[in-house]
């Protein structure tokens, strides 16, 4: 590979790492956005993400006309992943303690590794091995630890639906991520259409199921804007570029650190308490994903 190719790969890898860093703040910014209903918050955030995509296209000098050539299946998959995941994720953070919900949700790096075994080899599929099963066991042990350590709280029964939403979010994001490898030759501008479709779909659900709630303060408005610019905006375009043109191994390993980074961000902002049990659960989830990523041979 020539110098230009190496440079392009390095830039894409850095973009993917930037996405991981932005996602570490998703839970904290969601909590800081206040009592905004999940569908309303999704619609507002992804409207910002759509605008960010248009700016991203201009910055990377990609004509928006390319979007007309993208197959509708790619857009449908994107809306399934973006709308389905984030609505479940926002609901989980509303219905369950943020730290626990965030950790359960972040089983998705592990699930991506395990689900990749269902893909054909021509698009990066891999045969399941002992390390995948051991990684799954560690990851689910972390989830079980989260649930067990919180069962004596008065609000535990009310939080079960939140935990279920967190599990659903992890399953949706992992299945979306694995299936997106089938469209690896599709332009990253497809994310613009997926963000726009997600914003429209969330707005329709909001009108049907929710009542509009105005942000109560300037800080809540700022959190919503920050969501649209970063974790629910630029991060998706960076991640798409990294997955298609960067170092997949490094980016995969970096995503395993997201649970710890997210938990730390919540604790640093005073939005949750980092107990020893939660710290151990975070290590279980991250260690499980790391073990699952081990190569078959050294």
Q: Is 196 exposed, middle or buried (0-12, 13-18, 19+ CB in 10 A)?
A: buried
Quote the pTM value.
Answer: 0.78
Count of all residues that appear for the chain in the document: 298
Q: How would DSSP label each residue in 235-275?
A: HHHHHHHHHHHS-HHHHHHHHTTHHHHHHHHHHHTTSS---
Tokens 């201009």, located at residue? 58
Q: What is the pLDDT of residues 228-280, one digit of tens each?
A: 999 999 999 998 887 777 776 567 667 767 777 777 788 788 877 777 877 78
220 torsion bin: left (phi>0), alpha (psi -120 to 50), beta (else): alpha
For residue 212, is pLDDT > 90? yes
| SS3 call for 29 | helix
Domain residue spans in the chain? 36-213+250-292
Token couple for 190? 């497809």
- Residue 221 CB-half CA count within 13 A: 4
CA dihedral 10, 12, 18, 22 (to 10 degrees): -170
Class of residue 297 by CB neighbours under 10 A (exposed 0-12, middle 13-18, buried 19+): exposed
Lowest mean pLDDT of 88-97, 149-158, 183-192, 250-259, name the range: 149-158
- The residue whose two tokens read 């960076």 is 238
The two structure tokens encoding residue 163? 């935990």
pLDDT in tens, 102-135: 778 878 877 877 776 666 666 555 566 777 778 7
Among the listed ranges 25-39, 41-55, 64-78, 144-158, which one has the minimum average pLDDT value? 144-158
- The pLDDT tens digits for 6-22 are 577 788 889 888 998 99
């Amino acid at each position: 590979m020539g110098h230009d190719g190496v440079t392009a790969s390095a830039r894409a890898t850095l973009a993917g790492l930037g996405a991981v860093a932005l996602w570490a703040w998703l839970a904290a910014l969601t909590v800081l956005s206040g009592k905004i209903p999940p569908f309303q918050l999704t619609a507002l955030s992804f409207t910002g993400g759509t605008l960010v995509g248009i700016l991203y296209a201009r910055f990377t000098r990609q004509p928006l006309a390319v979007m007309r050539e993208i197959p509708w299946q790619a857009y449908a998959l994107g809306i399934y992943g973006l709308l389905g995941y984030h609505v479940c994720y926002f609901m989980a953070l509303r219905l369950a303690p943020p730290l626990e919900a965030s950790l359960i949700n972040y089983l998705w790096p592990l699930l991506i590794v395990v689900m990749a075994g269902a893909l054909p080899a021509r698009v990066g599929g891999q045969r399941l091995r002992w390390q995948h099963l051991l990684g799954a066991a560690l990851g689910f042990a972390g989830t079980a630890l989260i649930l067990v350590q919180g069962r004596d709280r008065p609000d535990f029964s009310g939080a079960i639906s939140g935990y279920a939403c967190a599990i659903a979010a992890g399953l949706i994001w992992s299945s979306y991520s694995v299936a997106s490898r089938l469209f690896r030759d599709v332009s990253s501008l497809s994310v613009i259409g997926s963000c726009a479709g997600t914003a429209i779909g969330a707005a329709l659900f909001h009108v049907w199921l929710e009542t509009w709630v105005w942000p109560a303060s300037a800080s809540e408005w700022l959190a919503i804007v920050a969501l649209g610019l970063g974790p629910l905006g630029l991060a998706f375009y960076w991640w798409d570029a990294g997955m298609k043109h960067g170092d997949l191994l490094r980016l995969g390993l970096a995503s395993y650190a997201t649970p710890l980074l997210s938990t730390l961000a919540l604790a640093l902002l005073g939005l949750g308490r980092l107990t020893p049990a939660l710290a151990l659960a975070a290590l279980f989830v991250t260690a499980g994903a790391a073990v699952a990523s081990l190569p078959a041979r050294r």
